[in-house]
């Protein structure tokens, strides 16, 4: 019986073993396919991760590039709001509020030695045509130039620039000077703000002397009035038949002192050869001296001289061809509070432009900075000629100004 069972077992074993082997082979094949599929999916996942890393790296690269570019951008600006209450001796009284200036600076450093600088300005709050055809405000491109350092001492500028004259023409941000309005000398004799298109060289010596030379568009003064301020062309399709030339020497080698002499020459003051006025020379000197402890003195003298083909007319015989002005200011600052008194004497292109202005007042800088301030000053204007005494005036100016 045992032999019979053993024989039967041996008879069915090859069949069972073959079936088992075939089943194992199928399982192994299926496992291999699964492994290949998993490997493919894993490779796809690795590729996706790698691609995502490249995209992220590229994105980070663009962000870093943009951030680096923004590091080279300079943004700033200044502005001032004025209130005036002025009464003339004739009896008229005027009160006005004026958003006098809103200015934005924009610059970009191409390299450590090459820079772009600009200044964009809105005056009097808006721009519109008024009923009499005059402009109710101005939008102006006051500066737009490329600056390059050739050496540690020599710099060149090409574009639209402020003319290097006086005290305020280049540095006129409201918190940096006393009084709500700019002084009268740097309004009518030196037509601040005065700019023009051209080229400039600046050389800074190691002994505190800075030399500047500029070739630029000239003024186009009205031949009948000789009004210097009205001759500013502001690089707006400016007539440039004849160049103007300005030079200045500034000394800062003594502690607390900044002293300058300047000279401007134009071969044709009206930018037109068909009228009587010819050459114009504008010259002067300025000084700022800080004695310490907030005590400062500012002084300015400016003179303009016209020449004409025929000097027998009233403009020359009345002496209006020689215009001049002097400005003197004394101030004392105690922390955030400053007090000042100044005097402007102007001898302009007509009798009504010949007068003296006295101002005294207070300026308060906001705590923690010198870039924003409130101003108040009292104003007294007296004309040289008695016939103009009705235009004598006095009053008060209030203002707020900032720079950043």
Q: What is the pLDDT of residue 51?
A: 74
Distance CA 34, CA 27 (A): 10
Burial (CB < 10 A; 0-12, 13-18, 19+), residue 150, is: exposed
Which CATH number applies to 72-403: 3.40.50.720, 2.40.160.10, 3.40.50.1000, 3.40.50.12780?
2.40.160.10
Cα-Cα-Cα-Cα dihedral sign, residues 29, 30, 32, 33: positive
DSSP 152-186: SSEEEEEEEEE---TTTSS---GGGSSSSSPPSHH
Report the C-alpha gap between 352 and 340 in whole angstroms: 27
Separation between Cα atoms, residue 332 and residue 293, nearest integer Å: 8
End-to-end Cα distance, the chain: 114
pLDDT of residue 9: 46
Please state, as a whole number, how many other Cβ atoms lie within 10 Å of the Cβ of residue 366.
Answer: 14
Facing residues of 199 across strands?
Answer: 158, 215
Confidence at residue 52, expressed as pLDDT on a 0 to 100 scale = 73
Maximum CA pair distance of the chain? 160
Provide the residue ranges of all domains of the chain, joining segments of one domain with +.
Answer: 1-71, 72-403
Number of helices followed by number of strands (H, E) in the chain: 3, 16
CA pseudo-torsion sign 122, 124, 125, 128: negative
CA atoms of 243 and 381, how far apart (whole Å): 36
Q: What is the mean pLDDT of each run of 10 residues along the chain (404 residues)?
A: 51 52 65 73 73 66 70 95 96 94 97 97 88 75 98 98 98 96 97 97 97 97 94 96 96 97 96 92 98 96 96 92 98 97 97 97 94 97 93 97 97
Which value, to the nearest 10 degrees, does the dihedral of the CA atoms of residues 65, 68, 72, 78 take?
100
The DSSP H or E segment spanning 363 is: strand 354-365
Residue indicated by tokens 């401007």: 264
Structure tokens given for 370: 């010198």
């Amino acid at each position: 019986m045992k032999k019979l069972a053993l024989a039967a077992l041996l008879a069915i074993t090859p069949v069972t073993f073959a079936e088992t082997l075939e089943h194992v082979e199928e399982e192994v094949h299926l496992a291999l396919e699964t492994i290949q599929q998993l490997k493919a999916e894993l490779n796809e996942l690795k590729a996706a991760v790698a691609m995502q890393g490249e995209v992220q790296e590229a994105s980070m690269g663009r962000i870093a590039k943009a951030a680096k570019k923004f590091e080279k951008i300079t943004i700033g600006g200044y502005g001032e709001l004025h209130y005036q209450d002025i009464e003339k001796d004739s009896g008229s009284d005027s009160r006005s509020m004026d958003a006098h200036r809103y200015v934005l600076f924009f610059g970009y450093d191409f390299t450590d030695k090459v820079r772009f600088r600009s200044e964009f300005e809105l005056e009097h709050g808006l721009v519109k045509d008024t009923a009499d055809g005059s402009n109710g405000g101005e939008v102006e491109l006051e500066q737009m130039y490329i600056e390059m350092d050739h050496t540690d001492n020599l710099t060149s500028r090409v574009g639209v620039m402020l003319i290097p004259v006086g005290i305020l023409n280049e540095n006129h941000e409201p918190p940096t000077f006393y009084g709500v309005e700019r002084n009268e000398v740097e309004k009518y004799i030196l037509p601040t703000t005065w700019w023009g298109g051209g080229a400039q060289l600046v050389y800074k010596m190691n002994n505190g002397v800075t030399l500047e030379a500029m070739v630029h568009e000239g003024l186009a003064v009205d031949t009948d009035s000789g009004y210097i301020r009205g001759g500013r062309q502001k690089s707006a399709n400016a007539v440039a038949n004849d160049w103007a030339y300005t030079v200045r020497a500034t000394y800062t080698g003594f502690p607390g002192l900044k002293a300058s002499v300047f000279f401007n020459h134009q071969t044709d003051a009206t930018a037109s050869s068909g009228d009587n006025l010819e050459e114009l020379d504008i010259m002067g000197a300025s000084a700022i001296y800080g004695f310490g402890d907030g005590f400062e003195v500012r002084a300015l003298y400016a003179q303009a001289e016209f020449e004409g083909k025929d000097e027998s007319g009233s403009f020359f015989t009345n002496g209006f061809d020689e215009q001049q002005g002097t400005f003197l200011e004394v101030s004392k600052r105690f922390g955030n509070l400053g007090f000042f008194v100044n005097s402007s004497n102007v001898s302009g292109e007509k009798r009504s432009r010949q007068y003296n202005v006295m101002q005294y007042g207070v300026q308060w800088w906001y705590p923690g900075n010198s870039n924003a301030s409130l101003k108040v000053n009292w104003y007294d204007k007296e004309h040289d000629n008695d016939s103009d005494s009705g235009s004598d005036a006095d009053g008060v100016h209030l203002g707020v100004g900032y720079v950043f």
